[in-house]
Structure 1
Amino acid sequence: MKRTSLLLATGALVVPTAFVSGAVHAADESDQPPVERIVLLDPAKAAVHAAPGRARKAALEEVRAGQATLEAAAEGAGIDLGVEERFEYVVNAVSVTVPADEVADLAALPGVVDVVAPIVWAAPEPATELDPAVLEMALAKAARTSKDDVTVTDLTGVPQAHRAGHTGEGVEIGIIDSGLAYDHPAFAGRYLGGYDFAMGDADPYDDITGGAAGHGTHVAGIALGDDENMTGVAPEAKVRAYRVFGSGGSGATDQVVLAALEQAAKDGVDVVNMSLGDPTQRSTGAVALAVNALSDSGVPVVVSNGNGWAGPFSSSAPGVAEKAISVGSVYTESMPWMAFTLNDGSGDPIPFQIGNRNANAPSSGTFEVVEVTTGCQPLAPGSLEGKVALFALQYGSFTCRGMDQARVVRAAGAVAGLHYNPRGAEGSFTTSVCCGAAIDMPIALLRPRDAARISAAETPEITWGAYYTEARTASQAGMMSGGSSWGPGAEMEFKPDVAAPGEYVFSTVPPAMGYYSQLAGTSMAAPHVTGLVALLLQADPTLTPEQIREVLGNTATPMDFTGDPGRGKQPTAQQGAGRVDAVRALAVVSRGAPTASPSRLAFGDLEGRQGVRRIEVRNDGDGAVTYAVSHQAAVSAEPPYTNSWVPDDAASAVSFSRSTVTVPAHEVASVTVQVREPGTVPPGTLLGGWVVLTPTTAGHQTIRVPYQALAGDRDAVSAINPTLTAINTKMDNPSLRPTYSFNKSVPVTLDYSDTLSTNNTAYLLVSHGFPLLERYRMQVVDAGGNVVATPMDQRWAFRISGAGTGYQMLTWAGKDDNGDPVAAGTYRLRLVFEKALGDADGAPRTETWTSPDITLVR
């Protein structure tokens, strides 16, 4: 069976103009409680597809008329519909409340494309704190000392791009996240405004509590920050902030995220960053469709691919949207810290963190350091004038805390403080400065061993403005992160598109959180690409989102196998086209060099047949260019679809319609690609690599087009996750148990004749690992095979195998679907897995499992 994505064949989507309408009520009230739903109407009519001006005004009127027709139709059908929000600019949709038993009637109304339940997008997880053991692996001071080289990794060539004048000037970036600390010096003069859709006001200031605290500010800093201590990828771009995550780390509803996308479109931003995602959502969801529509309107949308730690088929929505530029995460070469140097002759910089709520650290200047050991006793006025004070945390005192000491040394004239915990781990920074109001003096938090270095110096002086870096191991630096989510999408979409540095990236956080921090994940990789998109748009403002994807993919660098670089290339299912390269991408745009499209090839499952695709090479230059055509294989990935995937060196057999292709000036030439699966891999093995176009004409760059394919028939892959029992051999999967327990599957007796008996519930543990089930059911069948109950019936179920140990526990307590007791007798539980994208040509798309007997006694 040849599979392609289940994406809607439309070019438009859904985004809201968020205004409240009066509800439309049917004459007869329903007894069913109302549920929230998003009603998707004809996406092609979304106003963003019309040209600005009169055409767009007419399109808006047509959208509103269509939504009014929906309301009238619902009233005529007796549907108790409450309209909450309307989305009309980027997508044609209405957020409603409707009785649960009337949803099907609503979906059947004329003009309704789909009715979907909105989700809540989880706030980003708290940042992973840096393990002191990792800090201990410092190898040497930074070889490069400029903020451009250290705070923006040179893995992608951004410092070189800056030196060539590519800074993002004139480009507006929209950040949809937890907000922005726009008072940070890194955004001075470049914040254009925004909106807080989470709280419903015009101030999108970043959250400083909860898991998402500082996330949006850190993301924005990577994309475009710039001050004395750090530089982002596009340091002269401007920013608009759209806050969607609420205080304390609360999630964002579909409606809130859609409203933010629509506002970004109306504000006219040039590129949007979305460092958010959900691995249990499809590419046909409302937000994913909105991303497609915004891209179709000319605004590229860059999305993090997710931090799954879960192996193949773990990409998140909305990154799985066809038009999204989804980004995986690469290990940086080193972990940078702000630092100062000490005149002790060692030359080794001393790293520090900035004490929260106080002034930012300076970027230059040399100052004498005086150690203050008298706690909070007043010092003589002027005794520390123009000097830096070193002071330790005082134990056993509630009246002489860190900030109390800071105020004492400030009153004596100190210009900065160095604070440390003398009882802390040698490799750990003091975590904060407690307590009280902030002061206008920077306080650097040190490690105890560094404080000891300063104290031991004869006449210590420090010089601000250095950096300290901790090198990655050679098997990690510049390669894919183990936690970066894999593609393909659950419906065989090619994902991720590209990868970028995302592990322990130095960037901004709100001043109340210490100005700067290192965070890790695809949330940090996405804004790196967003900033690079801004550089490309500065170089050529006419670039379309698809052209940008082509340039990024064509010029990306394939990465070696993480942990074993000599083995080959990391699967394209995790790295996409590879690590972005700013210098090569800008060279293509600046020179009008040839590009290849499509930017990536998704072959789906091959089923033993030959997959065929065509690549077109476009040459806008004034001279013909000739390329040699070849194949570069990536390491293949065998099932299971967990982080216990099995690498396989067997590669696809790839052939071409021609061995060379010549593209005349201002013309297009094509080459056909044929891919066959190797005969030695199990069904479900992910294959990948690159079609490589190597120029034989001088002065041109190599072009690469990545591909993804799946060996055999995806339906032949078991729905049952084998990793669960491989890890724990004492368990079965699935496993019928008389209690909530983990062991082999056994017959169960449910005894309802004894009111004191606790044996009244059957437990079924299951871990399913198929990428996407169109329908997933647990049925109760009697001795004759008749279905007497369906306790669980789920549509569009994503795999729960995760890291390999994910499971769910289902139960049955001897009742039918109406809640009535079933008769005494023998029953079994049957799991029914209906695999998405299946058809009659290949393996059976439905897989079942039946439990041992359940004897019910009454």
Structure 2
Amino acid sequence: MKRILSILFLLVAFTNAENYILETSVPVSSLIDSLDSTMHLRQTFNSDLFHGLSVHFDSVESVHKLMRNKNVINVWPVQQFSQYSSVKDNTSYKEFFVPKTMDTLHQLTNDNYAYKKLNLDGTGIKVGIIDSGIDYTHPALGGCFGNGCKVAYGYDLVGNAYNGSYESIRSSPDPMDDCPHNSTFSMGHGTFLSGIVAANDKEYNWTGVAPGVTLGMWKVYGCNYSTVPNDILMKALEMAYMAGMDVISLSLGLHGGWQEEALAEMANRIVSKGVHVIAANGNIGANGLFLPASPASGKNVISVGSTSNSYVPAYEFQVFSENEFFIRRFSTDSNIFINLKKAYRTFTETPFQLNEVLPIVFPSKKFNVKNDACKPITRKHADCIMVIHQGGCNPIEQVENARQAGAKAVIFYTDTYNTTVRITVLEAASLPVAFVNLFDGNLIYSSINNQTTGKFTNVLMALDAPNSSRTVSGFSSQGPTNELQLKPEIMGVGENVFSTLPRNLKMYGFRSGTSTAAPFVAGQIAILLQKKRVESVLKVGPPFSNVSYVESSIRQGAGMINIDGTYYGQDILEASPAFLGFNDTENFKKCQKLTLHNHHPTRKLFLSLIHLPSLTAIGHKQEEPLEPVIFSNLNNSVSSVILSPDSIEILPGHSAQVSVKLSPPKNIFHHEIYSGYIVAISDLVNVSVPYLGMSGNMKDLKILERNENFPAIGFPDGKTMLQKKQTGHFTIPNGPYLLIRLLTGTQILKIEILKDSLKIGSVPVDEGIPRRWLMRNTREFTEYSNGYYSWQWHGDYIASDNTDKTVKFVSVGAYQLMVSVLKVFGDKQNSDDWEVWLSPLLIMK
């Protein structure tokens, strides 16, 4: 609870509570004329998408005054969106790489080259990116900006000096990503995403996914401030739409889980106009269900998760040895000095800066021992490279024990004989840490004698990742939405991705995250749009994808985007809808129809239909969310489906319907998510349609966590909590903080004020984080989720019988705060669909 209090004030700053976005039923000019001196215009929106404005209000009365205008039809609070930080980021390292061969970078970007098989490159398609700007002077990104350049469109909506205040905005028509190297938020994120889509690098022999597209960049981040309000993002979306972008990609997000947030709604409207909006689903995969970020949570926005890469980067480690046994293994000449070159990996995907030859030592006399270096190492070794078997204890402890024994670097050998694909992130390690596989660790061990030395180089290598490792990234956020809609919809390559960086950040780098998977998918869609044949299917997600049928659709949606299959397959076979939602038990849709369309001009299609269930996701234990999710492999823990008919003949140009009758799993607890795929198989092409549903009712999931910590009342000093049966004393306006932790998302959270057990009014809507469409809390604070929510009550209220919504302050006396949250799928008019909590007595003076 002490930690809760220490960041209480940070939470209140999460939203600009005095700033609102208002949608109008008439052109915005009429509403601008009604603004008074307490209302300050921020942004205006005038397009066929949206008429409206965002306004800063000096007072709560001003907010409600404008809301009462008959032409205002929607109101959203202004909220701050974070750019997704890379799961692995090498921009803080000065040492760079030397490719081992001319093909090294071509191999590391191998997944980019599907376009070559199709003889397409995205020419004529415009892809807009909303992010931190672009260094268009990079040779791989065309070297210029404007007409005739690869980067032809864009705008800087905030300026480098933007610090979160509206007064600091210095917009310009130049979206250049040129933050100084020492900026606190200078990561080159937008330049990196742009390279994934459209780079064409002659020097290193690699390209992006669609090197022929024309790019647009709308810069929305400053150099030293990590968030941006949604009204600026909405303006950027409007500008990209008005500039004629065919595809718009966003790698940023806010707490989601619902499709009704303002930016998600704006993105969805753009989709309805025929523009494809792609958004990263988020990087909090270890935190459980119902966590797609906004705007990825938008109804028809294509939400993208991350999968691993087909190649991973490594660097060359040289071993110098005179060990006689070791020499005999590699040479018939007993007099030579062996220089063995093996691959090492780092969690930052960057080479070490140790440009010196150092002795190699092992802490144990035997190879592959358990609990290696888990205790202090008695034998000291000055300035050495220590090779340790990873495991048996915390690797941070192993590294620290090596440091205490004199090591300057640690090499962990893992338990895999194949390429070490998944490596441990050890940001707190006291030494540089490298990783090799078990086989290479044994080779290094075999080389050891008193003269064996090694050197870390910056020679970049490409290691082939085993097919078995092509899985959903552990960091990739999981769906579904709170309304049990499929998120993510599609997957893209998001691990160990190589791309461009600004020139002052060494021009290139590796990163991981769903933020890199989204532009990968955006580029693939640009390739398909070049052929002008995917308009209908891509509204939800391409059905032609590479699917791991064991993986749940809450993790992978329809699977990895398959550009080849979609390119050829859509001229032959289409399935609609592209997703089957069976909902929860109360709203169960037992029987649904799947329509199959034969688009081939001359051939009949003979289809066999099969059901492939996926592992059921156990996301709750005793109605509380599990972090991470557990996947069940028990008997009868998957759904069963009857397909009627299970084989079918469709004439050219005709369609046929299939009945899909589902029975939920029998051997699972309540509130588990079952899923799978309906697959139509022909001799020409196959198509998969994902489905999901819930055993149990969303409405039965607890909303409020109730224990010794939550809900709670905190004092303004940020140090003290009011005990459960204690009476709190406060001086207006320094009122109490209300602390709430949500176990399930809620559409509405109300805070009302009671005096003598009678409701007298509600806390004004401008107090703290917005109270609509709230995502559930996670155990920890992440890039777009909170461990809990907080609101401060200053003693102000809007009376229940006050039709003009005038804000008043309570008189001296005793009051209680009543919190009410609406259950998912609940009826606002039904009192049984609300959870209620009543605070202890609060004396206001």
Equivalence for 1:786: 758
Q: How does 1:461-500 map to 2 (within 5 A)?
A: 467-469=461-463, 477-500=469-492
Cα deviation, 1:247-279, whole Å, max 9, x if unaligned, reads 223433333223322332233233221111112
Work out whether 1:302 is the aligned partner of 2:245.
Answer: no
User: Within the alignment, does 1:287 sit opposite 2:263 as a pair?
Assistant: yes
1:598 matches 2:577: yes
Confirm or deny: 8 A CA contact 1:603 1:611 kept in the other structure. yes
Change (3 A) 1:762 1:279: closer
1:38 aligns with 2:16: no
- Residue 246 of structure 1 aligns to a residue whose secondary structure is coil
Gap change, CA 1:184 and 1:812, over 3 Å in 2: closer
- Out of 245, 252, 263, which is 1:269 matched to? 245
2:340 to 328, 343, 346: 346
Q: Report matched runs for 1:513-552 at 5 Å.
A: 513-538=505-530, 540-544=531-535, 546-549=536-539, 552=541
The one-letter code of the counterpart of 1:677 is P
Sort the Cα spacing of 1:145 and 1:641 in 2 relative to 1 into closer, same or farther, 3 A.
farther
Structure 2: how far apart are the matches of 1:857 and 1:174?
Answer: 53
Once residues 662 and 286 of structure 1 are traced to their aligned partners in structure 2, the CA distance between those partners, rounded to angstroms, is 45
Partner of 1:253: 229
Q: Distance in 2 between matches of 1:463 and 1:751?
A: 65
Q: Is the 8 A contact 1:480 1:559 kept in 2?
A: no
Equivalent residue for 1:703? 687
8 Å contact from structure 1 (residues 553, 704) kept in 2: no
Cα offset for 1:202? 1.9
Rounded to whole Å, the distance in 1 between the matches of 2:467 and 2:723 is 45
CA contact (8 A) 1:282 1:490 kept: yes
> Which residue of structure 1 lines up, in the alignment, with residue 184 of structure 2?
210
Whole-angstrom distance in 1 between the partners of 2:509 and 2:518:
17
CA contact (8 A) 1:652 1:675 kept: yes
The aligned amino acid for 1:631 is H
Query: Quick one: distance in 2 between partners of 1:812 and 1:256?
Result: 28
Of the three residues 749, 764, 768, the one matched with 1:775 is 749
For residues 217-252 of structure 1, the C-alpha deviation after alignment (integer angstroms, 9 at most, x for no partner) is 111111222213343212333322221112223433
Structure 1 contact 331–480 (Cα < 8 Å) conserved: yes
In structure 1, distance between residues paired with 2:611 and 2:480: 20
* Pairing 1:576–2:554 present: no
Q: Distance in 2 between matches of 1:354 and 1:801?
A: 29
For residue 560 of structure 2, what is the amino acid of its counterpart?
Answer: R
What is the distance in 2 between the residues matched to 1:604 and 1:351? 44
Q: Are 2:650 and 1:671 aligned?
A: no
Instruction: Give deviations 1:314-357, integer Å, cap 9, x for gaps.
Output: 1111111222111011233553257799997635468899999x
Whether the 8 Å contact between 1:765 and 1:807 is mirrored in structure 2 is yes
- Report the AA paired with residue 688 of structure 1: S
Matching residue of 2:495: 503
Structure 2 residue matching 1:632: 3-state secondary structure: strand
Contact 1:833 1:847 in 2 (8 A): yes
Q: What secondary structure sits across from 2:524 in the alignment?
A: helix
In structure 2, relative to structure 1, the CA distance for the partners of 1:737 and 1:371 (3 Å cut) is closer
Given that residues 326 and 498 in structure 1 are in contact (C-alpha distance below 8 angstroms), is that contact kept between their aligned partners in structure 2? yes
**TM-score between the two structures when normalised by the length of structure 2:** 0.69
Instruction: Supply the AA of the counterpart residue of 1:684.
Output: H
Q: Secondary structure of the equivalent of 1:318?
A: coil
Task: Map residues 441-452 of structure 1 onto 2, 5 A cutoff.
Answer: none
Unaligned runs of 5+ in 1: 1-32, 43-64, 133-140, 357-369, 373-421, 429-445, 561-568, 726-730
Q: Does 1:846 align with 2:834?
A: yes
CA 238–464 in structure 1, closer or farther in 2 if over 3 Å, else same: farther
Partner in structure 1 of residue 77 of structure 2: 117
Per the alignment, do residues 371 and 746 of structure 1 end up closer, same or farther by CA in structure 2, a change over 3 Å counting? closer
Tell me the secondary structure at the aligned position of residue 83 of structure 2: coil
Q: 2:294 aligns with which of 283, 292, 317?
A: 317
Distance in 2 (CA, whole Å) between partners of 1:609 and 1:350 is 52
Which structure exhibits the higher relative contact order, with contacts defined as CA atoms closer than 8 Å and separated by 6 or more residues?
2
Q: Is the 8 A contact 1:776 1:797 kept in 2?
A: no
Match of 2:616 in 1: 636
Equivalent residue for 1:624, pick from 604, 608, 612: 604
| CA spacing shift, 1:339–1:512, aligned 2, 3 Å | farther
Which residue does the alignment assign to 2:127? 173
Secondary structure at 1:269 match in 2: coil
Distance change in 2, residues 1:498/1:641 (3 Å): farther
- Deviation readout 1:189-220 (Å, 9 max, x if unpaired): 62324221222112211245333621011111
Q: CA deviation at 1:472?
A: 8.0
1:687 aligns with 2:658: no
Distance between the aligned counterparts of 2:54 and 2:587, measured in 1?
Answer: 47
Using the alignment, how far apart are the partners of 1:354 and 1:672 within structure 2? 50
Distance 1:426 1:34 in 2: 49
Pair 333,792 (structure 1): closer, same or farther in 2 beyond 3 Å: farther
Conserved 8 A contact 2:43-2:235: no
Look up the match of 1:238. Answer: 214
Give the % identical residues. 23
Q: Please tell me the residue identity of whatever aligns with 2:616.
A: S
Distance 2:458 2:812 in 1: 77
Give the structure with the higher percent strand: 2
In structure 1, give the amino acid aligned to 2:290.
F
TM-score norm. by structure 1 comes to 0.68
Cα drift, residue 142 of structure 1? 10
Residue identity matched to 1:586? Y
Secondary structure at 1:249 match in 2: coil
SS at match of 1:525: helix
SS in 2 for 1:616: strand
Give the aligned residue type for 2:523. G
| Inter-partner Cα distance in structure 1 for 2:742 and 2:195 | 40
Query: Does structure 2 conserve the Cα–Cα contact (< 8 Å) formed by 1:636 and 1:651?
Result: yes
Where 2:648 maps in the other structure, the secondary structure is strand
Cα separation, 1, equivalents of 2:631 and 2:831: 24
Equivalent residues, number: 672
Say whether 1:91 aligns with 2:49: yes
Deviations 1:556-597 (A, max 9, x none): 22336xxxxxxxx232122111122233223325xx121112
Distance in 1, Cα, partners of 2:434 & 2:825: 58
1:816-855 counterparts in 2 under 5 A?
A: 820=810, 822-823=812-813, 830-839=818-827, 844-850=832-838, 854=841
Out of 552, 557, 560, the position equivalent to 2:546 is: 557
Task: Give the distance between the partners of 2:100 and 2:660, measured in 1 at CA.
Answer: 45
- What SS class does the counterpart of residue 300 from structure 2 fall into? coil
After TM superposition, give the deviation of residue 767 of structure 1 in Å: 1.9
Distance 1:815 1:301, change over 3 A: closer
